[in-house]
A and B are shown apart, each in its own frame.
Chain A
Amino acid sequence: GESVGLHLPTLSVQEGDNSIINCAYSNSASDYFIWYKQESGKGPQFIIDIRSNMDKRQGQRVTVLLNKTVKHLSLQIAATQPGDSAVYFCAETLYGQNFVFGPGTRLSVLP
C-alpha cells in the first residue's frame, strides 16, 4: 500500500474502547472543518464535518468537537473496531476553498 506518513503520531487503542484523535488548526477564520480517514492504498474518505457555528456534531459512532477559542478539533470514535485502523486527517477551509490538512494521526486498533 501507499506510505501516507512514515513518522506520524500514533494512537493505539484496544478494540471496543473509545478513541479520541486531536487536531490543532491554524486559521481562526476557518469556517468549515472535515475529518478524513485514509487507509493504505486509498484516497482520503470523508468521515464527518462541522461548521464554525457549531461546537459539536455527531454521526454514526463518531463525534466531532470544535473549540474555536483554542483552535482545536477532536474526533471521537466510539467502540473502536479493527476496520477503524487508518490515518486520520483534519482539514480546515474558509469558504470551501484552499483546504488545509493537518499532519495526520495513525490509529492502530489492538485485538
Chain B
Amino acid sequence: KAGVTQTPRYLIKTRGQQVTLSCSPISGHRSVSWYQQTPGQGLQFLFEYFSETQRNKGNFPGRFSGRQFSNSRSEMNVSTLELGDSALYLCASSLEDTGGEQYFGPGTRLTVT
C-alpha cells in the first residue's frame, strides 16, 4: 500500500505570493491533518479534515486554509506569504476518526524569500 505523498517536495516563493500544497493520503484513510514544522516552534497543528469537513483548526491566522476532496486528497493554501512561513509542511493521514495511528508524508519544504 502506498504511503502518504506530498507535492511538491520543495518550493521557493516570494513574500506576498500564495502557495498551494497537496497531500494524497493512504488509500482508505479519510482523516488528513496538516502540520507546520520549524526549528524554533517545532511541530504545530494546522488543521484536520475528515470526510471533506474541517473538524479542527490550530492557532494559525486565516491566511492558512485547506480543503479536502471526495477522494480524501487534501490541499492547503497559504496566502500573502511571509518570511516566517518558511517551514516544512507535513501532512498525516489516519484511518480512524477518533485517535489512532497517523502516517506522515515526507513533507513539503517551503522557503519564502
**For this complex, into which size category does the number of interface residues on chain A fall?**
20 to 34
Tell me if B39 and A3 are in contact (CB < 8 A).
yes
Q: Which residues of B contact A91 (CB under 8 A)?
A: 43
Check A4 for interface membership: any CB of B closer than 8 A.
Answer: yes
Q: Which residues of B contact A100 (CB under 8 A)?
A: 45
| Bound: A42/B101 CA distance, A | 17
Tell me if A44 and B55 are in contact (CB < 8 A).
no
A2-B88, A41-B106, A44-B43 are contacts. A95–B99 as well, Cβ < 8 Å?
A: yes
User: Interface segment, B14-22, B64-72, B77-85, B90-98?
Assistant: B90-98
How many residues of chain B get a CB closer than 8 Å to chain A's CBs?
Answer: 30
Contact partner of B39 (CB less than 8 A), chosen from A5, A45, A89, is A5
Chain B residue nearest to A42 (CB atoms) is B106
Contact partner of A97 (CB less than 8 A), chosen from B39, B48, B106, is B48
| Bound: A41/B48 CA distance, A | 23
Contact partner of A43 (CB less than 8 A), chosen from B39, B44, B55, B104, is B104
**Nearest Cβ in chain A — how far from B22, in angstroms?**
15
Check B13 for interface membership: any CB of A closer than 8 A.
Answer: no
**Nearest Cβ in chain A — how far from B58, in angstroms?**
7
Tell me if B102 and A46 are in contact (CB < 8 A).
yes
**Nearest Cβ in chain B — how far from A106, in angstroms?**
12
Q: Which residues of A contact B100 (CB under 8 A)?
A: 96
**Nearest Cβ in chain B — how far from A98, in angstroms?**
5
Q: Which residues of A contact B45 (CB under 8 A)?
A: 98-101
Residues in chain B within 8 A of chain A (CB atoms) = 4, 33, 35, 37, 39, 42-45, 48, 55-56, 58, 88, 90, 92, 94, 96-107, 109
A41-B106, A96-B94, A96-B96 given; name 18 further pairs at CB < 8 Å: A4-B39, A6-B39, A42-B106, A43-B105, A44-B92, A44-B104, A46-B102, A91-B43, A93-B99, A96-B98, A97-B55, A97-B56, A98-B56, A98-B58, A99-B35, A101-B35, A102-B42, A103-B42
